[in-house]
Structure 1
Amino acid sequence: MTTRRSFIKSSAVYSAGLLMAPSLLNYNHKYIGLQLYTVRDAMAKDPASTLAKVSKLGYNSVEGATYTGTEKFYGMDPAEFSRLLKRNGLIMPSSHYRLGDEKTNGEMPRGTIMQDWGKAVDDAATVGLKYMVCAYLSESERGGTDRYKHIAEQFNKAGETCKKAGIQLCYHNHDFEFKQENGKFMYEVLLENTDKNLVKMEMDLYWVNKAGQDPIVLINANPGRFPLWHIKDMDKTPEHGFTEVGNGSIDFKKIFKYADKAGLKYFFVEQDKTPGDPFNSISQSIAYIKKNLV
């Protein structure tokens, strides 16, 4: 059982261990990704020009934020969207999906883990996805330990379907997974009750920190379980809001030393809210990343 106290205690041990493990310092990654939710308004209006602009800024990888509910990628079928990505020199190794265990406008949405998942996986394979990520659990989909165990069962089943198509299922965290029941985080319940080969995690570094947890401790406790990261910074105000990468309080340089142990394959810049034009914000973020992280 891992409590917040043991998380903190473990952090000190592992931080000391870093000094004895220089191999963890080796990190080299050619892809700099963007979660397209950051530019969602622009993508909704004109995905072609938006992707061209993203590419021009230096991003060569993107993560999708649509499909659930429409079973299309930004209004396009898989083949058409795949061609658009290629024209802009982009890959999309990952995209977000929903659990789909609640009704929207009185109906269950399609293209979710719970509804029409087989088609979602087939379409993902056509686009060339390597990862399909459950992005979020709505409040009505959450619960206590028993509920999260049930969700873990659904993830394992969905992960089996993904595996047959050569795709890896992942789960993207927020901060609500770090609420405890009987001294255990719900995030632990997911980790312990999912097959580590069928279900991996996309670690959102902002939300882990917002929950008062240490990403490095999670990585050391679950090596190889975090192939995807969201690179999202936390501002230094009392509200701890979103800010551009390198402009906040999260020590990305320290965390990136553990990239190999995490099993990192792709990371994506994400900024849920920006103070102005989101393209200005993602330009600042990639400049910091190129100078300091890759």
Structure 2
Amino acid sequence: MLRNTLIAFFLSIALFTQAQPFGKLVRKTPGVVSFTFRDSFGKDVPGTLDMIKSMGITDLELSNLFGQTAPAMRALLDQRGIKCSSYGVNYDDIVKTPDSVLVRAKALGANYVRVAWIPHQGELSPEVAKQAIADFNKFGKLANAQGLLFCYHNHGYEFHPYESGTLFDYIVQQTNPDYVSFEMDIAWTYLPGQNPAALLAKYPKRFRLMHLKDVRKGVAGNDQGKLAPENSVVLGTGQLDMPAILKAARKTSVEHLYIEDESPAAPQQVPQTLVYLKQL
């Protein structure tokens, strides 16, 4: 009964958001990152996919298969008209088992393979960054040969000063643009003190994916990639300048926007985020 009530609620939200095209800055319903509904996915994969679809969302970035094989997950997605456009894996996966990663990504029907963390101790060092650059170029070339694109997702620690810029600048400049692209997490660009809109303008052809996430007002910045879940809030109610960021993104190569809401209240907050994005 509760599940049916929730689905009916989300369906009403979806009907509202789909009654007209999205706003000028976001012209279609954005996707969502599976991490947003990680607890629900861990308990009920089909039910969670039903919930996502009831919100009007048909674009999904998977960071976990939640006990499913890639073909089984693809079948569940296809049954609901949901597309897995990006498949997130661990850094070690692309280094140690790259062929298996690519097989799973293709089975899912993904266009992108994404890594979101460079293993490191303390501050990210130039030496570790240089090794990551080599690994990204190598895996990106393999992915490209399979018709896939590789993206690296920032988490804040990459913005330490280095040479005339930051380690993030160094990673962007030293990776092959034919093989390596980027996914901007706007919160983990803003929290370390960077301007997401300015960074998009600086590298307009390197970003392909974007995580939309807002941060509760009053929360201090950090560059450790750590945010208390309750400090992830409905887009437009936090610290980030969403209109400026989305306006900048429209002038870049960004193809997919994914809502990432880390809050335990994400099932209630995501529909509110969709309403906000629609009015922009």
TM range (shorter): 0.7 to 0.9
Which residue of the other structure, out of 241, 244, 260, is the alignment partner of 1:254? 244
Q: In the alignment, what sits opposite 1:77?
A: 69
Q: In the alignment, what sits opposite 1:281?
A: 269
Deviations 1:140-169 (A, max 9, x none): 497321221111010000001110111100
RMSD: 1.9
- Which amino acid counterpart does residue 93 of structure 1 have in structure 2? S
Q: Which moved more, 1:138-147 or 1:38-47?
A: 138-147
Aligned length, in residue pairs:
249
* Matches for 1:1-294 after TM superposition, within 5 Å: 29-66=27-64, 73-100=65-92, 112-140=93-121, 143-239=124-220, 241-272=231-262, 274=263, 276-292=264-280
Identity percentage of aligned residues: 25
Unaligned runs of 5+ residues in structure 2 are 1-22, 222-230
Give the Å deviation of 1:28.
5.8
Distance 1:203 1:150 in 2: 21
Deviations 1:107-153 (A, max 9, x none): xxxxx111111111011011111011111123349732122111101
Give the Å deviation of 1:284.
1.4
Distance 1:125 1:141 in 2: 35
Q: Secondary structure at the match of 1:153?
A: helix
Q: In the alignment, what sits opposite 1:14?
A: none
Deviations 1:152-194 (A, max 9, x none): 0100000011101111000000111111244531111210110
Deviations 1:70-99 (A, max 9, x none): xxx221222211110111221110021111
- Which amino acid counterpart does residue 213 of structure 1 have in structure 2? Q
Q: Is the 8 A contact 1:33 1:267 kept in 2?
A: yes
Give the Å deviation of 1:237.
1.7
Q: Secondary structure at the match of 2:95?
A: coil
Unaligned runs of 5+ residues in structure 1 are 1-24, 67-72, 101-111
Q: TM-score if structure 2 supplies the norm length?
A: 0.83
User: Structure 1's 200 and 157: CA in aligned 2 closer, same or farther, altered over 3 A?
Assistant: same
Q: Is the 8 A contact 2:25 2:243 kept in 1?
A: no
Distance 1:189 1:277 in 2: 37
Distance 1:201 1:284 in 2: 27
User: Structure 1's 197 and 228: CA in aligned 2 closer, same or farther, altered over 3 A?
Assistant: same
Give the Å deviation of 1:198.
0.7
Q: Secondary structure at the match of 1:113?
A: helix
